[in-house]
Amino acid sequence: MAIEVEHELHERRKGRNYGVGLLLIGFIAIVFGLTVVKVLQLGDAGQFERADHVVRPQIIPVDEVAE
Amino acid sequence: MTDFTATNTPHEASMGDYFALMKPRVMSLVVFTALVGLLVAPVPVHPFIGFVGILCIAVGAGASGALNMWWDADIDARMKRTAGRPIPSGRVQPGEALGIGLALSGFSVVLLALATNFFAAALLAFTIFFYAVVYSMWLKRATPQNIVIGGAAGAFPPMVGWAVATGGASIESLLMFALIFMWTPPHFWALALFVKSDYGNAGVPMLTETHGRDATRNHILVYTVLLVPVALGLGLTSIGGPVYMAVAVVMNAWFLKGAYDIWRRDDAACEADKHKTEIAVFKVSLYYLFAHFGALLLEAALHLYDLGGW
């Protein structure tokens, strides 16, 4: 007997699988959208550079560099 | 033949069956009242965050519906109205409903906390707890006052919507809560008077069966009278105004007259005209809630143009 790649279980559960897929896509869209909105609400997104634990000479105020 | 065929399951649950666990019709009312609570709040909310907030409230309400169906599967199976629900009809296993209910509860509360604020999330968590545990597990089978106290679960959504925007509670949000809370008993008992229920067979105490139909009529009148000051009081707050007040006066007079009409009748009169008055008052109660929250929304819209309000 030939092995069927498409088992009838796949056919029967197609609706559910598509449903779960759509829910996951929706969840990703929500998290992505929230991230965009929350970051934009911060105003100056460039300020994030201050918190990435890496020395960035370009964000050190000029008078401090002179000292 | 060694091929595996999973054909011993009588019904394969579809996505729609899982969705039905979430009581979509209840969810639509929750979405409407929560949306009004969010939009009438004095703090503007980013549309996307507002959308996620309402989605979380709707999913939280759906989760508590699934938990309720899991807990009440035994009594649902004994009543004609509910025998076709996913669990009693065998389409969804009880454990699945429990899993979905718990997972969605956690999901909605955590996402609401991250998207908006902790106060709104805590209030949503309490709402789910109130409906699933206080109402379904403790009150429903224990007392004929079950829907009076349980009605609080349905009254929380506008408060949660308000909390999404403001991060707290206020007299306005408490009065929106009180409006639904006081409205639920007369609304539900008007229905109980004309629907031939089999709550008795299922062992659920309903006021019509434990205290009789006359006592139920008295209760409807008393609760409707108590509802009036709440509805009018809301109109005197910052979210009320002349438009809301005009709607409230008309709707309260209409509902009050209906409750009085019910109170004057007896069973013989009900049977004679096939519960005409009770059915009419039940419909009025639906318009009543919709009109009040619609008027609040209208006042908020008028505020945008410096109209409305006091």
Q: What pLDDT shows up at residue A50?
A: 61
Asked if B12 lies within 8 A of A12 by C-beta distance, the reply is yes
To the nearest 10 degrees (0 to 180), the angle between helices B171-194 and B276-304 is 160
Residue-number span of the structural domain to which A52 is assigned: 32-67
The pTM assigned to this predicted structure is 0.89
The SS3 call for residue B177 is helix
Within chain B, how many helices (H) and strands (E) appear?
14, 0
Q: What does the longest C-alpha to C-alpha distance in chain B come to? A: 80
Under the banding of pLDDT at 50, 70 and 90, the label for residue A67 is: low
Asked if A30 lies within 8 A of B46 by C-beta distance, the reply is no
Q: What gap in Å lies between CA B294 and CA B34, rounded to an integer?
A: 12
Residue A42 lies in a domain: yes
pLDDT in tens, B110-125: 999 999 999 999 999 9
Q: What pLDDT shows up at residue B5?
A: 52
Inform me whether the pLDDT recorded for B57 exceeds 80: yes
Q: Which among B131, B160, B175, B156 is positioned nearest to B54, based on CA atoms?
A: B160
Residues 6+ apart with CB under 8 A from A19: B15, B18
Q: What pLDDT shows up at residue A31?
A: 96
Mean pLDDT value across chain B:
93
Q: Is the ipTM of this complex over 0.85?
A: no
The conformation of residue B46, written as its DSSP 8-state character, comes to: -
Comparison of pLDDT for B55 and B304, the residue scoring more: B55
pLDDT in tens, B2-44: 555 554 555 678 899 999 999 999 999 999 999 999 999 999 9
Asked if B48 lies within 8 A of A8 by C-beta distance, the reply is no
CA quadruple B221, B226, B228, B231: dihedral positive or negative? Answer: negative
Lowest mean pLDDT among B8-17, B215-224, B228-237: B8-17
How many structural domains comprise chain A? Answer: 1
Average of pLDDT values for B150-173? Answer: 96
Alpha-carbon A44 to chain mean position: 20
What is the number of alpha carbons within 13 Å of residue B268 lying toward its C-beta? 0
Q: What pLDDT shows up at residue B32?
A: 97
Q: What gap in Å lies between CA B161 and CA B234, rounded to an integer?
A: 16
For residues B291, B294, B296, B302, the Cα torsion angle rounded to the nearest 10 degrees is -130
User: b/e map of B101-136 (b: 16 or more CB within 10 Å)?
Assistant: bbebbeebbebbbebbbebbbebbbbbbebbbebbb
Q: Which among B145, B288, B172, B185 is positioned nearest to B235, based on CA atoms?
A: B172
Give the chain B residue whose CA is nearest to the CA of A3: B3
Residue A57 lies in a domain: yes
Residues 94-153 of B with CB under 8 A from A: 111, 114-115
| CATH dotted code for B15-167 | 1.10.357.140
Distance spanning both ends of chain B, measured CA to CA: 80
For residues B259, B260, B261, B265, the Cα torsion angle rounded to the nearest 10 degrees is 100
Inform me whether the pLDDT recorded for B63 exceeds 80: yes
CB B56 within 8 A of CB B108: yes
Asked if A34 lies within 8 A of B13 by C-beta distance, the reply is no
Mutation site for A-interface testing, chosen from B46, B104, B107, B117 by largest number of A Cβ within 10 Å: B46
Q: Which of B5, B12, B18 sits opposite A13 (nearest CB)?
A: B12
pLDDT in tens, A24-60: 999 999 999 999 999 888 877 666 666 666 666 776 7
In three-state form (DSSP H/G/I as H, E/B as E, the rest C), the secondary structure along B180-220 is HHHHHHHHHHHHHHHCCCCHHHHCCCCHHHHCHHHHHHHHH
pLDDT in tens, B291-301: 999 999 999 99
Q: What pLDDT shows up at residue B150?
A: 86
Query: Which tokens belong to B48?
Result: 């996307």
The conformation of residue B168, written as its DSSP 8-state character, comes to: S
pLDDT in tens, B73-102: 999 999 888 999 999 999 999 999 999 999
Chain A residues closer than 8 Å to B55 by CB: 30
Q: What pLDDT shows up at residue A60?
A: 73
For chain B, which residues make up each domain, given as ranges? 15-167, 170-310
What is the number of alpha carbons within 13 Å of residue B62 lying toward its C-beta? 23
Alpha-carbon B228 to chain mean position: 19
Chain B residues closer than 8 Å to A34 by CB: 48-49, 52, 114-115
Query: Which tokens belong to B47?
Result: 């549309």
Inform me whether the pLDDT recorded for A4 exceeds 80: no
Q: What pLDDT shows up at residue B188?
A: 93
Q: What does the longest C-alpha to C-alpha distance in chain A come to? A: 83
Average of pLDDT values for B286-309? Answer: 94
CB B212 within 8 A of CB B225: no
pLDDT in tens, B170-210: 999 999 999 999 999 999 999 989 887 778 778 888 898 89
